[in-house]
Structure 1
């Protein structure tokens, strides 16, 4: 009886060793396990790439809004209110295909006094009220650009972007939305002042 028990134990031990050896050599499920482990990382990397791509695209578009509006405004010495409003609204369309409702644009024509302080002469706004005449410049004016008696054009454009992946990536990045503030300053091209009729 003891011999049978010993033989059974040895036989089961050999069977177990053979089974464990076969299991260790069997590689048929390794790729599935690797895929399951790597899939969340790959999805997060793809989401991050899409998210950063959209953020960079909107940043470039906001730069274009500010520079295009400033450049177009500088090309005439006199503007009618309806025309300049159409140009401001047209500049906002640069943000397409993203929503224009979040775009805020301030266009200000600034008077520079003898102390090189800039104050608003006239202003137009998109999705924000126009600045009141006489208030300080909405953007800081570098002293090497300011010249007494010569007006400046200042544009400030702001936007807040939430991408489809922003909430998904917030625990990783800490970012809930991308906020942009782009400014542009230049002198008039046709004279030293720009008037609004």
Structure 2
């Protein structure tokens, strides 16, 4: 059987590997780009989550340290200004904050005694049915601060991703709740923890059930 030998040009074409690297780059570049974006997004979202948690703890601690029982609006506004440096470089205006003074009476009857701000949050003054009270506060006379922070997270390239996948919502919310013991304020009676009263609020009614 006669063997067919390729012509010189055809032989050079079949042996030429100069375009292999280009093809490999075209295939691998999108994958590499996605890996880089994934790492950057993971670091960013973790940092954002940690700062929301840190803000909730910071606000709870600042509120609990008030030297007098009644907190003034000016003091609370000063406390809330901590949001900007704590959340930086994220936009603090996206955060929803509510601080509440919680009281626990006999039979674990739990109340929101006062709250700040009084609008925009999920808490209102009155009996707090369904509130998850930490174990160390599940006793008659317990008083503590409840700090709640909710904040929307926006991905690094939310605009681009939104254009590529219009039906997918890439924004989501973090929600952080911190229960904090009162470190200042004053006790209103025997067996009652020290408490602070948020602006325009009233003291906890120790007899409420």
* TM class, shorter-length: 0.7 to 0.9
Distance in 2 (alpha carbons) for counterparts of 1:44 and 1:135: 50
Task: Give the drift of 1:74.
Answer: 1.3
SS in structure 1 of the partner of residue 137 of structure 2: coil
Conserved? CA contact 1:103–1:126, under 8 Å: no
Matching residue of 1:101: 93
Q: What are the superposed Cα offsets for residues 91-115 of structure 1, whole Å, 9 maximum, x if unpaired? A: 3542222122210011000111112
Q: Does 1:189 align with 2:183?
A: yes
Q: Could you say if the C-alpha distance between residues 144 and 129 of structure 1 is closer, same or farther in structure 2, counting changes exceeding 3 Å?
A: closer
Q: CA RMSD of the aligned region, Å?
A: 2.9
Distance in 2 (alpha carbons) for counterparts of 1:49 and 1:15: 50
5+ unaligned residues in a row in structure 2: which ranges?
Answer: 187-193, 200-209
SS in structure 1 of the partner of residue 82 of structure 2: helix
Q: Does 1:177 align with 2:179?
A: no
Task: Give the drift of 1:163.
Answer: 1.4
Matching residue of 2:148: 156
Deviation larger for 114-123 or 52-61: 114-123
Bigger Rg, structure 1 or 2: 1
Task: Give the drift of 1:138.
Answer: 8.7
SS in structure 2 of the partner of residue 101 of structure 1: helix
**Structure whose residues are more often helix by fraction:** 1
Task: Give the drift of 1:148.
Answer: 1.6
Give the number of equivalent residue pairs.
Answer: 184
- TM-score relative to the length of structure 2: 0.75
Distance in 1 (alpha carbons) for counterparts of 2:54 and 2:77: 17
Task: Give the drift of 1:38.
Answer: 0.6
Conserved? CA contact 1:120–1:137, under 8 Å: no
Conserved? CA contact 2:155–2:170, under 8 Å: no
Conserved? CA contact 1:139–1:183, under 8 Å: no
- TM-score relative to the length of structure 1: 0.79
